[in-house]
Amino acid sequence: MERNGAPKHDVALARRPPMPGKATVLAMGKAFPSQLIPQECLVEGYFRDTKCQDLAIKEKLERLCKTTTVKTRYTVMSKEILEKYPELATEGSPTIKQKLEIANPAVLQMAMEASLACIEEWGRPVGDITHIVYVSSSEIRLPGGDLYLASQLGLRSDVGRIMLYFLGCYGGVTGLRVAKDIAENNPGSRVLLTTSETTILGFRPPNKERPYDLVGAALFGDGAAAVIVGTDPIPGKESPFMELNHAVQQWKTIGRGINFKLGRDLPAKIEENIEEFCKKLMEKAGLVEFNDLFWAVHPGGPAILNRLESTLKLRSEKLECSRRALMDYGNVSSNTIFYVMEYMREALKRKGGEEWGLALAFGPGITFEGILMRSL
């Protein structure tokens, strides 16, 4: 695994003081598996490893890889894993037990490294963490990863733990909403929010009967992220950079069962509902113009970003951080919003930046998660 904390930020006075009692993001960290795959190498490796000879499927995946805009991704899956578990590349083999043997420790390891990077940037003792929120759609076990992570980090035995499983792509923003509620209702608390994801559970050999498997192969990646959330930052000890001002969740039932795929109608559903949803958040601060905000949008895929940009008539630079995160890491499910926020933190600091913005993510349900944020 590669530990990749955010660039070190010296403790300094914020440009804008946070509102008393409002949750703020105090530090960030991220981590990835050691294997980095350039998009142009993915198809040959995937078909070699799965021993697939179907040229039509191969050509379709090659086309998909070009349309995703992804350039690089990290992955837990490796040649060594497939040598140990050859059944993972065999059509029809029962593999859930083997996949969990790989995924559970890998997800925990990435979560651990992202959390340590975040705590290092925060600069306070690990014993000052009062709560942990753990988000993943990539492991299945009881007790869950929240307990293992808290134990390995050396958190206090009375730390409050919350585990959010199988929320998919909106899980990171849900985690922020939950961490915000905890922080604002427990004065002095410091909440460690950690997300960690791998594509191991969904790994299968290509099959023309499952065309949407190819979308996942072309788009998704692995990694972890962590943030620390708290109210009333301590001057000289903590450096808040984002205020979580107001949070909203909205859902519309369109599901018909358990599916691990990107619905074809997801971009259209987002297009139909996004303007009303954003206005609901913006009115809390008296905001009207979409282009007056910064935008941290989970990049589920280029079609989602394109629809959102055209529907809200956003200037092209408004989604630059989302497009950059998609290009560098792929869609890493719940983690991706934090990679966007990291790029946004740097962009806002460079250009003086807008004060208000939105963090948005979409996922199963269809569920819309949004937070009105304020740059500090």
Look at the block and give the residue holding tokens 């929010």.
193
Look at the block and give the residue holding tokens 């190498």.
41
DSSP state, residue 237: T
Q: Are 87 and 95 in contact (CB under 8 A)?
A: yes
Cβ contacts of residue 334 below 8 Å, gap of 6+?
135, 136, 137, 167, 168, 169, 170, 171, 172, 175, 195, 197
Instruction: State both tokens at 14.
Output: 């914020």
Give Cα 312 distance to the centre of its chain: 23
Q: Are 99 and 88 in contact (CB under 8 A)?
A: yes
Cβ contacts of residue 116 below 8 Å, gap of 6+?
3, 29, 153
From 52, 65, 118, 169, the catalytic residue: 169
Instruction: State how far the Cα of 222 lies from the Cα of 154, in Å rounded to an integer.
Output: 25
Amino acid occupying residue 202: G
Instruction: State how far the Cα of 308 lies from the Cα of 13, in Å rounded to an integer.
Output: 35
Which has the closest alpha carbon to 76: 133, 32, 131, 28?
32
Per DSSP, the chain holds a count of helices (H) and strands (E) of 11, 12
Give Cα 188 distance to the centre of its chain: 26
Instruction: State how far the Cα of 228 lies from the Cα of 122, in Å rounded to an integer.
Output: 8
Instruction: State both tokens at 73.
Output: 């991704």
Bond from prior residue into 366 cis (ω within 30 degrees of 0): yes
Instruction: State how far the Cα of 235 lies from the Cα of 72, in Å rounded to an integer.
Output: 39
Instruction: State both tokens at 179.
Output: 């961490």
Instruction: State both tokens at 347.
Output: 């962009």
Based on the residue annotation, tell me whether 52 is a catalytic residue of this protein: no
Provide the annotated active-site residues.
169
